[in-house]
Chains A and B, each alone.
Chain A
Amino acid sequence: MSDVHVSNTKRIWFVFALLSVVTTVEVFLGIIKPESLHLNTFLGMNLLNWIFYILTIFKAYYIVWAFMHMEGEKSSLRNAVVVPVVFLVIYLLFILLTEADYIFEVFKNSTIKWNF
């Protein structure tokens, strides 16, 4: 990247348009909440929430790759940054959400109640 200093204004505006469109879609879905997506469960969440998370990761990819210019860095830097974060976040989410669901079941099915 340090050798070539060509302007990539075009790509920047493209990514901006893309992020705006995705955000608009998210907001639109968030307002209308289509029943076919909202009223079901898939792996602990409804499909609408899964769509939101997938679109969020899609946006995150473009922010990191285009805006933070990760696509121009060496693969060693890319991996050193992305792999630990992705691994630790998945690990953390797995542990915390599994435990939270367990605690929810305890409150729901036993005599212990928080809300009476």
Chain B
Amino acid sequence: MGSTVTTANSEEKTWGGGNEPMGASYGKLMMWFFIVSDALTFSGFLAAYGFSRFKFIETWPLADEVFTHFPFLHGVSAPMYYVALMTFILIGSSVTMVLAVDAGHQLNKAKVTFYMFLTIIGGLIFVGSQAWEWKNFIKGEYGAIETKGGSLLQFVDNTGHRVKLEDFAASLPKEREQLTRSKGKWFMDESSLPTYTVAEVQAGFKAHPDLLIRTEVIYEDNAASKADPKNNTTLNKIKHKTILTRAESERRLESAVLVVEGANLKRNEYGSKLFADFFFFITGFHGFHVFSGVVINIIIFFNVLVGTYEKRRSYEMVEKVGLYWHFVDLVWVFVFTVFYLV
């Protein structure tokens, strides 16, 4: 017990042990050390995201066009709602955690158990929600074209609404087959081929004269962008992606080299390649923190159940994992702002 809970030393023995620098026990202080270093790690990631975003400030994807899904609402554009729900779930589980800590101070085992249980459930729901968010992000919705120069082209109709590749791509006889290990000469294979070839998309675009191309560039609505003959005159809106004229669209589509569907670490249909990389890396790293937080909470939950802390007459361990859990919530608050709001 002496190694897990330090009690205040009233006698003047500075080096005799049992002291509590900064008035916090050893375990709590170490948890704060860890949180400071982890906070700086996350700051580094988010600052790197900010770096890339400011570097590509004119072409960065717009969050409310990327994260638009909500469970059971198919085809409805519902930006923000789902992450808002996730945020409430995580704040809620933070509250139950702090209630567990509070009950621990009163050595109320039943209440600690109950609130720890709710915290674990909240954490699991959050991780599940994040998995669903990833699934939608990876699957994509509309599809896009990558050009020889590495820029991304998306498709809209003559009212400015996004159009899916499947709605217009022509069907041409395919000669190209995915190379799999079973067909390779040696250990050769490749990732799965897109549903449509570049030629099919180009042919489909020609056959639908009302289709237009939307570039990655965010429309400025200033004199230069208004005078640019390449820009569509009626559909462009300030702080939205620039839509081209039909003639310019056809010209741009000639330099198409790849069909992009969904997102992976190399390219994504939303825009800047780095966007998906940062999304996977930062939300993944945060999700891993939530996951490990849930695992730690489960361990502590069983310790509470078998009465370990009851015997110690101290629920400080619950407080320590609580610190970690709140930290995970704290990071999410920033990830939420940086990825979804700004």
The residue that B84 contacts in the complex, of A27, A52, A103, with Cβ under 8 A, is A27
Q: Cβ of B75 < 8 Å from any Cβ of A?
A: no
Q: Cβ of A88 < 8 Å from any Cβ of B?
A: yes
Chain A residues lying within 8 Å of B64, measured Cβ to Cβ, are: 30-31
A69–B332 Cα gap in the complex (Å)?
Answer: 18
The residue that B99 contacts in the complex, of A12, A45, A55, A60, with Cβ under 8 A, is A12
Chain A residues lying within 8 Å of B195, measured Cβ to Cβ, are: none
Structural contact, B22 and A56, CB atoms closer than 8 A? no
Q: Cβ of B106 < 8 Å from any Cβ of A?
A: yes
Structural contact, A93 and B151, CB atoms closer than 8 A? no
Structural contact, B53 and A100, CB atoms closer than 8 A? yes
A115–B273 Cα gap in the complex (Å)?
Answer: 12
B contact residues vs A (CB 8 Å cutoff): 8, 22-24, 29, 32, 35-36, 39-40, 43-44, 47-48, 50-59, 64, 79-81, 84, 87-88, 91-92, 94-95, 97-99, 101-102, 105-106, 149-151, 216, 238-239, 319, 322-323, 326-327, 329-330, 333-334, 336-337, 340-342
Q: Which of A5, A66, A69, A115 has the most CB of B within 10 A?
A: A115
The proximity string for A residues 1-18 relative to B, scoring 1 for CB distances below 8 Å and 0 otherwise, is 010010111001101100
Q: Binding site of B, secondary structure by majority: helix, strand, loop or mixed?
A: helix
Structural contact, B330 and A20, CB atoms closer than 8 A? no
Q: Cβ of A104 < 8 Å from any Cβ of B?
A: yes
Q: Cβ of A96 < 8 Å from any Cβ of B?
A: yes
Report how many residues on chain A are interfacial, defined by Cβ distance under 8 Å: 58
Structural contact, B334 and A56, CB atoms closer than 8 A? yes
Structural contact, A81 and B36, CB atoms closer than 8 A? yes
A2–B8 Cα gap in the complex (Å)?
Answer: 10
Q: Give the 9 A-B CB pairs with smallest separation, nearest first.
A: A100-B54, A77-B22, A116-B149, A74-B23, A96-B51, A56-B337, A5-B105, A27-B84, A100-B51
Structural contact, B51 and A56, CB atoms closer than 8 A? no
Chain A residues lying within 8 Å of B102, measured Cβ to Cβ, are: 7-9, 12
Given contacts A74-B23, A85-B39, A92-B44, contact A97 B51 (CB under 8 A): yes
Structural contact, A101 and B54, CB atoms closer than 8 A? yes
Structural contact, A52 and B24, CB atoms closer than 8 A? no
Structural contact, B50 and A100, CB atoms closer than 8 A? yes
Structural contact, B51 and A30, CB atoms closer than 8 A? no
Tell me the minimal C-beta distance from B59 to chain A in angstroms. Answer: 7
New contact pairs (15) apart from A53-B342, A63-B329, A68-B322, CB-CB < 8 Å: A2-B8, A7-B106, A9-B102, A12-B98, A15-B95, A63-B326, A81-B36, A88-B40, A89-B40, A92-B47, A99-B51, A100-B54, A108-B58, A114-B150, A115-B149
Q: Who on chain B is nearest to A100 by CB? A: B54
Structural contact, A76 and B22, CB atoms closer than 8 A? yes
A13–B48 Cα gap in the complex (Å)?
Answer: 35
Structural contact, A53 and B8, CB atoms closer than 8 A? no
Given contacts A12-B95, A115-B216, contact A97 B334 (CB under 8 A): no
A73–B32 Cα gap in the complex (Å)?
Answer: 12
Chain A residues lying within 8 Å of B94, measured Cβ to Cβ, are: 63, 67
Given contacts A27-B80, A92-B47, contact A7 B91 (CB under 8 A): no
List 9 A–B pairs whose Cβ atoms lie within 8 Å, in order of A's numbering.
Answer: A7-B105, A9-B102, A26-B337, A30-B64, A66-B98, A76-B23, A89-B47, A101-B54, A104-B57
Tell me the minimal C-beta distance from B49 to chain A in angstroms. Answer: 10
Given contacts A64-B330, A73-B23, A85-B40, contact A115 B59 (CB under 8 A): yes
Structural contact, B239 and A97, CB atoms closer than 8 A? no
Given contacts A27-B84, A100-B50, A101-B54, contact A67 B150 (CB under 8 A): no
